[in-house]
A and B are shown apart, each in its own frame.
Chain A
Amino acid sequence: DTAVSQTPKYLVTQMGNDKSIKCEQNLGHDTMYWYKQDSKKFLKIMFSYNNKELIINETVPNRFSPKSPDKAHLNLHINSLELGDSAVYFCASSQENPGGRTDTQYFGPGTRLTVL
């Protein structure tokens, strides 16, 4: 059974389009995250949700919006895609620790987004 799954694995689209990436975890974790990995492999957190509450909202364009229908799912919607949005997007999840300290994070396989 896949612990953290993402769909699609690859996404190729035109500038200006709107797209979504879905993420699901079956680990029973309370917290889910979205990370962006750029062409130089640098990983940076974008959002985190804890029990459907937005906790981390890094400085990303407001064209990016996370949506959490329940604690096992965290989807990423991107409006008006731009060339610079091309990257690999990773979903992750972890258990909640007291005081919000991070616990072991488990990553999905990533979604490679290419904007033409």
Chain B
Amino acid sequence: GIQVEQSPPDLILQEGANSTLRCNFSDSVNNLQWFHQNPWGQLINLFYIPSGTKQNGRLSATTVATERYSLLYISSSQTTDSGVYFCAVDEFFPYSGGSNYKLTFGKGTLLTVNP
């Protein structure tokens, strides 16, 4: 199956710093999503970004599908940005009724933002 690798595994920042999280994947994909899991466990979808660049406030993401990677940028980090950031990609699979896709997740980057 497809391999999804995220780096760094852990990151500690001071409030106000900027950071870049990386996601590499081993095969071509149709879709890539970034998620944030806050310290209370809630998973929030940040971006649906199969290619190109998107921005949402202090966060932006870029996917270069031809080179099989995606980057998540966090600017002016805040303590509320703490948590685990996951990248997930579409993985094609056949089944008896036809074919479909499923999301395969990386192991995440644990971000801690200190005040």
User: Taking beta carbons and an 8 Å cutoff, which residues of A are in contact with B?
Assistant: 40-45, 48, 53, 55-57, 88, 90, 92, 99-107, 109-110, 112
Contact = CB atoms under 8 A, between A and B. Distances in A.
Contact of B41 (A56, A57, A101, A109): A109
Interface stretch (B12-20, B66-74, B94-102): B94-102
A112 B30 CA distance: 32
Contact of A101 (B31, B37, B104, B108): B31
B90 A101 contact: yes
B80 interface: no
Given A105-B45, A107-B42, 4 more contacts: A41-B108, A101-B101, A102-B102, A112-B41
Nearest to A110: B41
Contacts, number: 66
Contacts of B31: 101-103
Contact of B42 (A45, A99, A102, A109): A109
Interface of B is mostly: strand
In the A-B complex, list the 10 residue pairs whose CB atoms are closest, starting with the nearest: A100-B100, A107-B43, A43-B105, A104-B48, A101-B101, A110-B41, A102-B101, A101-B30, A100-B101, A45-B102
Contact of A42 (B93, B98, B100, B107): B107
A43 B37 CA distance: 11
A41 B33 contact: no
B84 interface: yes
B103 interface: yes
Nearest to B108: A41
Contacts of A42: 105, 107-108
A55 B100 contact: yes
